[in-house]
Chain A
Amino acid sequence: MKIHEYQGKELLSKYNVPVPNGKLIHSADEAAEAARELGTSVVVVKAQIHAGGRGKGGGVKLAKSPEEAAQYAGQILGMTLVTHQTGPEGRLVKKVLIEEGMEIANELYMGILIDRENSQVMIMASEAGGMEIEEVAAATPERIIKQHVDPLIGVKPYLARKIAFALNLRGAALKQAIPFIINLYDCFVKEDLSLLEINPLVVTKDDRVLALDAKMDIDDNALGRHADTYAYRDLDEEDPNEVEAGKYRLNYIQLDGNIGCMVNGAGLAMATMDIIKHTGGEPANFLDVGGGADEEMIENAFRILVVDPKVKALFINIFGGILRCDLLANGVVAAAKKLNLKIPVIIRMEGTNMEEGHRILNESGLNFIVGNGMKDSAKKVVQAIQ
């Protein structure tokens, strides 16, 4: 689960990682007041959306007076911010963070993530802060420091020192960077983050070390033990169909095509999208109903798929293992009758109780098209929309 910058900074503060003073506002008037309260000669006005590249898109402005802060906040609030991460449709800005401005001496990068290759947590740091780290990694990989962390020991002062020295920090900045790194790691592990990026991490001219930005991804699998951070979830940032699917424990991702897919198992669901594309069609979604699906889940999955007006045909591809084909067939028949379905439905079923499943479909009086294997079914669904 992604969270906003201001929420990330709240979390960092809890772990004594220094962040600039700031205030979240929802209107231009509040912006002027917040700027006055902060009292610095310059304040930063920052759009809060779940996407990077906000500065380039016009979502981050420097204001030299409370009036200017109000003016910028007025422009940013309600704007549709388009960045390289939002897609062309952009994202509506509903919240703005007003932060104290500061004189920056040095911009660094620090990220913590799970390194899958080594099955360990890895800290990445670079003197090339403020830039896209992927670009730094591609152009000048030698400018990135990578440090794995032993999970049973964590980040001890020596390890933090090693990173801080490698970043060429000295004097007062070095002294502050050590607890900064230790606390950052602490936050990563205790909050079950899967990604934490501070870009830029700044050293100010008066030698303070602060997290000027905060990007966090919380491990979805761990949300059960973080009721407090789960409250940070912002449904405005999510696709409404995906939110609806999530209520029924369905794994759903919206795509651009017109063939709705319902599959059991993530790998088979991806392979189903692939074969549709190979056959000349375009999948409208990824949908994994999981191994333990019941009739009700199937019905809900069906409803979510057909509610999308761009879906012109449905492809149901089920390999019955734990999920029995007869149960699936009953769910599909019930849903099709209830929803008064008009679009063609191609069903491919294999595995446990397949014969019984086919019998239920045939006797339903509904016009399902039964496919024989993945290839044949994909062909039939692509033909059905032509």
Chain B
Amino acid sequence: MSILVDEKTRLLVQGITGREGQFHTGQAIEYGTNVVAGVTPGKGGQSVLDVPVFDTVKKAVDKTKANATVIFVPPAFAADAILEAADAGIALIVCISEGIPVIDMVEVYHYLEGSDSRLVGPNCPGVISPGKAKIGIMPGHIHKKGNVGIISRSGTLTYEAVSQLTALGIGQSTCVGVGGDPIIGTRYIDVLKMFQKDRTTKAIVMIGEIGGTAEDEAAYFIKKNISKPVIGFIAGQTAPPGRRMGHAGAIISGGQGTAEEKMKIMKKCGIKVCKSPADIGKTVAKYL
């Protein structure tokens, strides 16, 4: 098994006619993902890579029974795209767009709390269940089907971890990029619960970074609720305070959210914490 994404995923691409949308639609199809529809308002009736394009998400869902969507629209319009997908009742919304104003996300988060849709992201690489399907921008070929679940706030650092695992012959059940923004839809804890239930997943890698307290909350949750081994890494051990390190959410403020503090709490909660990013693969091998 795997979580969130698999052979039953019927994917819709919002912003399919844009450069990014088009490129990654091609990549997803090549990987074996069932892409059933695209949406670009005003371009309904066209098709991209043989995928039919609709004007609204509602219409696309009615016609194609899409059950997941990936959003590639520019950040100024991305919050609206998420709301449209939720309004159309899509179960899984993955938002890749980076740079959404945080106030927009406050509203979106509030709206989603009252809906049945799950949001992953924004500002994330997406979700992949190796050998089954991918929703997002990660390079499919570095992955290998297997039994390690990965949760991360970062994109390329996740690829780094995946490639270390694959090189050691260790495959992945599902890799979830939750996103680097201060306000995100799906958090570590939500994914941890799913990995705990998923029978295929035998170990979990949790990759965090400076800023906020999400890793601390996750660590306390793991201590109480997760029986599978969890291997952790925190990026930004050398980051200066008060500066936004690329990701909008990666900032140490008021002495809070340092890597040191997070690593201490994670260790205390029984997580195997790697100090060096080069050790993630071999630490997993040790505890798997």
Binding site for B on A (CB under 8 A): 85, 114, 116-117, 119-121, 134, 137, 150-152, 189, 192, 194, 219-222, 224-225, 251, 253, 255, 263-278, 283, 286, 288, 291-292, 319-322, 350-352, 373-375, 378
Contacts and interface: CB of A to CB of B under 8 A. Distances in A.
16 contacts: A116-B214, A120-B110, A219-B102, A221-B248, A222-B101, A225-B101, A267-B180, A267-B209, A267-B250, A274-B236, A274-B238, A274-B259, A288-B246, A322-B137, A352-B141, A374-B277
A321 B137 contact: yes
A266 B159 CA distance: 13
Interface in B62-118: 75-76, 99-103, 105-107, 109-110
Closest 10 CB pairs of A and B: A267-B154, A266-B246, A265-B156, A267-B157, A222-B101, A375-B278, A270-B235, A271-B277, A268-B156, A270-B236
Contacts of B125: 321
B155 interface: yes
A266 B235 CA distance: 9
Interface of B: 20, 23, 75-76, 99-103, 105-107, 109-110, 125, 137-139, 141-142, 152-160, 163, 180, 182-183, 207, 209-210, 212-214, 217, 233, 235-240, 242-250, 254-255, 259, 275-278
Contacts of B109: 119-120
Nearest to A132: B254
Question: DSSP majority for the A interface?
Answer: mixed
A382 to B, nearest CB: 13
Given A116-B213, A116-B249, A267-B152, A277 B103 contact: no
Given A219-B103, A274-B276, A375-B278, 14 more contacts: A114-B183, A116-B183, A119-B110, A121-B106, A189-B103, A265-B154, A265-B157, A267-B246, A268-B154, A268-B160, A275-B277, A291-B155, A319-B159, A350-B163
Contacts of B275: 278
Contacts, number: 175
A117 B160 contact: no
A150, A270, A277: most-surrounded residue (chain B CB, <10 A)? A270
Contact of A266 (B75, B154, B213, B238): B154
Contacts of B209: 266-267, 270
Nearest to A267: B154
A321 B248 contact: no
A322 B136 CA distance: 11
